[in-house]
């Protein structure tokens, strides 16, 4: 008789075969088709960020009704607002989503809940840092960027209101990061949609005035944004703490664990350097353009708003890739994680590039929305025809950045931002030594986008995502 036996079939007390056990529930983010799952996660973000685009258009439109000085003031303030939103959402929020996704991918829900509580502490602390920093140093920074007279006064008014409540957007994006880390894209996107509607209504009403409500100018626009954010924070907090999410932050009896902070900050803190450098790049560029006058600065502001609108598409795709890559890494499926990154990058590059190229060919489709001033319109057309075709590379860099967050290997894309910053600073200095025109500076901006996209993609190619020594998989005998 051979020592090899056939595996026994489980039976009940009457020797009848038991039904086969239920198949384990599969996680679509780890097991599903990549492109279909990515698009399934991204479409709520696309819709929500499209609503954010409506906010950008509406806000710039009614700020334009306040005058060219208000438009120029918004161009000064815009880098700091974007810094707040991208650092709290895309950077630290991405770090939160990455940490939670990797914990869920490894099957450790308890760790994911503890990470969520530590993420909220980080959000509150950094919101306070932004509030104090901008209230104390904001006026000086705006003046350094070239703000003068009424333009500076309008910009300071916006900063005092918006950054007086800086904790609110930080909490909003932290809650959104927690939900996205679990794979829930719909609720944050739905709230972004409703928040956009509130911002348009409240910002326009308080900014321009309506009926008995007086016009509060730039202060009113900022107040409308904060009220909309408070509503979103309230709904997400209720949803998460009521137990409807996959994780519930452990606030009661929380013991501070530095390992949890490290797991979030090793991605989030490094990621924060990316929007910081991006804003420094925009700030340097804004300062260089200020020498050409208010009309050129306002025209660039209109063009920069298009960049923000289009890169929100890449943002939607990139955010969708974070839980997919994070769970794949947590499940030790590195090859799948890399495929997700490249598919997301291609989607972002093509989608942003197509729209941007159309606007570059027909810039009046965008410019006519915001201003009737001939000088501002001419500057906007010139900037868009030069820089807009290169927005595709910005989309690629954003997607690579988010995918790297999911893998907890974000240093490469951050260094790509460093290279862009150095490129713009050095190029701007070189142009300043000659009799350069605004068109020369617009060409510098376009070239810097190509540098950023190419280097971000290269960083993903040359960065190891998997551990150095993967253990061999367990091999079980077919027969027992």
pLDDT band at 92 (very low <50, low <70, confident <90, very high): very high
Tokens of 454: 């190419």
Per-residue pLDDT tens digits for 118-167: 999 999 999 999 999 999 999 998 888 777 888 888 889 999 999 999 99
The pLDDT, as a whole number, for residue 456 is: 96
Which positions ≥6 away from 226 have C-beta within 8 Å? Answer: 161, 162, 165, 168
Look at residue 471 and tell me whether its pLDDT is greater than 70. Answer: no
Report yes or no: 90 and 270 within 8 Å, Cβ to Cβ.
no
How many other C-beta atoms are found inside a 10 Å radius of the C-beta of residue 361?
Answer: 12
Per-residue pLDDT tens digits for 309-347: 777 788 889 989 999 999 899 888 899 999 999 999 999
The pLDDT, as a whole number, for residue 14 is: 54
The pLDDT, as a whole number, for residue 478 is: 37
* 77-86, 295-304, 446-455: segment of lowest average pLDDT: 295-304
**Average pLDDT score over residue span 434-442:** 86
Report yes or no: 105 and 329 within 8 Å, Cβ to Cβ.
yes
Rg (Cα) of the chain, in Å, rounded? 25
Share of the chain above pLDDT 90, in %: 38
Distance CA(194)–CA(160), nearest Å, equals: 25
Report yes or no: 299 and 379 within 8 Å, Cβ to Cβ.
yes
**Average pLDDT score over residue span 466-478:** 46
Look at residue 292 and tell me whether its pLDDT is greater than 60. Answer: yes
Q: For the residues of 399-459, what is the DSSP string, one character each?
A: HHHHHHHHTT--HHHHHHHHHHHHHHHHHHHHHHTTT--HHHHHHHHHHHHHHHHHHHHHH
The pLDDT, as a whole number, for residue 473 is: 41
Question: Quick check: pTM over 0.85?
Answer: no
Look at residue 98 and tell me whether its pLDDT is greater than 50. Answer: yes
Look at residue 2 and tell me whether its pLDDT is greater than 80. Answer: no
Look at residue 257 and tell me whether its pLDDT is greater than 60. Answer: yes
The pLDDT, as a whole number, for residue 479 is: 37
Which positions ≥6 away from 269 have C-beta within 8 Å? Answer: 92, 95
Q: What is the DSSP letter of 213?
A: B
The pLDDT, as a whole number, for residue 27 is: 64
Task: List Cα–Cα distances, 309 to 54, 260, 394, 395, 441, in angstroms.
Answer: 9, 34, 12, 11, 21
Distance CA(57)–CA(370), nearest Å, equals: 8
* 38-47, 62-71, 450-459: segment of lowest average pLDDT: 62-71
Tokens of 358: 């159309």
The pLDDT, as a whole number, for residue 421 is: 93
Look at residue 476 and tell me whether its pLDDT is greater than 70. Answer: no
**Nearest residue to 59 (alpha-carbon basis) of 48, 73, 74, 46:** 74
Decide: helix, strand or coil at residue 11.
strand
Distance CA(344)–CA(302), nearest Å, equals: 28
**Average pLDDT score over residue span 184-188:** 88
Look at residue 6 and tell me whether its pLDDT is greater than 50. Answer: no
**Nearest residue to 345 (alpha-carbon basis) of 133, 52, 35:** 35
- The alpha-helical segments, DSSP class H, found in 33-91 are 34-65, 68-85
Report yes or no: 96 and 174 within 8 Å, Cβ to Cβ.
yes
Distance CA(206)–CA(202), nearest Å, equals: 6
Look at residue 86 and tell me whether its pLDDT is greater than 70. Answer: yes
């Amino acid at each position: 008789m051979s020592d090899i036996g056939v595996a026994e079939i489980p039976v009940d007390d009457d020797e009848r075969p038991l039904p086969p056990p239920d198949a384990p529930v599969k996680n679509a983010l780890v097991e599903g088709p990549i492109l279909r799952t990515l698009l399934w996660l991204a479409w709520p973000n696309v819709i929500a960020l499209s609503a954010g685009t409506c906010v950008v258009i509406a806000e710039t439109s009614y700020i334009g009704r306040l005058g060219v000085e208000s438009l120029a003031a918004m161009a000064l303030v815009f880098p700091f607002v974007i810094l707040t939103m991208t650092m709290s959402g895309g950077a630290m929020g991405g770090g939160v989503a990455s940490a939670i996704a990797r914990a869920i991918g490894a099957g450790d829900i308890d760790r994911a809940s503890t990470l969520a509580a530590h993420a909220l502490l980080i959000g509150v602390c950094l919101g306070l840092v932004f509030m104090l920093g901008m209230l104390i140093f904001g006026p000086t920074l705006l003046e350094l960027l070239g703000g003068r007279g009424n333009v500076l006064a309008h910009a300071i008014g916006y900063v005092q209101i918006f950054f007086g409540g800086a904790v609110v957007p930080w909490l909003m994006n932290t809650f959104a990061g927690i939900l996205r880390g679990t794979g829930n894209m719909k609720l944050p996107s739905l709230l972004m949609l409703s928040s956009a509607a509130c911002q348009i209504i409240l910002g326009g009403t308080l900014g321009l005035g309506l009926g008995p409500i007086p016009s509060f100018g730039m202060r009113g626009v900022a107040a409308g944004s904060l009220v909309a954010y408070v509503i979103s924070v309230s709904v997400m907090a209720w949803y998460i703490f009521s137990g409807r999410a996959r994780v519930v932050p452990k606030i009661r009896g929380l013991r501070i664990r530095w390992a949890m902070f490290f797991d979030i900050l090793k991605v989030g803190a490094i990621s924060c350097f990316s929007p910081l450098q991006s804003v420094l790049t925009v700030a340097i560029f804004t300062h260089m353009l200020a020498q050409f006058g208010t009309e050129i600065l306002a025209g660039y502001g209109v063009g920069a708003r298009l960049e923000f609108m289009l890169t929100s598409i890449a943002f939607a795709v990139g955010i969708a890739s974070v839980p997919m890559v994070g769970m794949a890494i947590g499940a030790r499926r590195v090859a799948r994680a890399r495929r997700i990154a490249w598919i997301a990058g291609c989607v972002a590059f093509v989608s942003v590039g197509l729209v941007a190229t159309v606007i570059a060919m027909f810039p009046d489709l965008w410019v006519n929305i915001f201003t009737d001033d001939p000088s501002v319109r001419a500057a906007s057309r010139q900037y868009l025809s030069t820089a807009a075709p290169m927005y595709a590379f910005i989309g690629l860099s954003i997607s690579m950045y988010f995918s790297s967050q999911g893998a907890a290997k974000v240093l490469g894309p951050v260094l790509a931002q460093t290279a862009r910053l150095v490129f713009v600073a050095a190029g701007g200095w070189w142009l300043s030594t000659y009799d350069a025109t605004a068109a020369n500076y617009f060409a510098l901006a376009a070239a810097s986008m190509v540098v950023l996209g190419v280097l971000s993609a290269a960083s993903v190619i040359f960065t190891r995502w998997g551990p150095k020594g993967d253990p061999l998989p367990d091999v079980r005998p077919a027969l027992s």
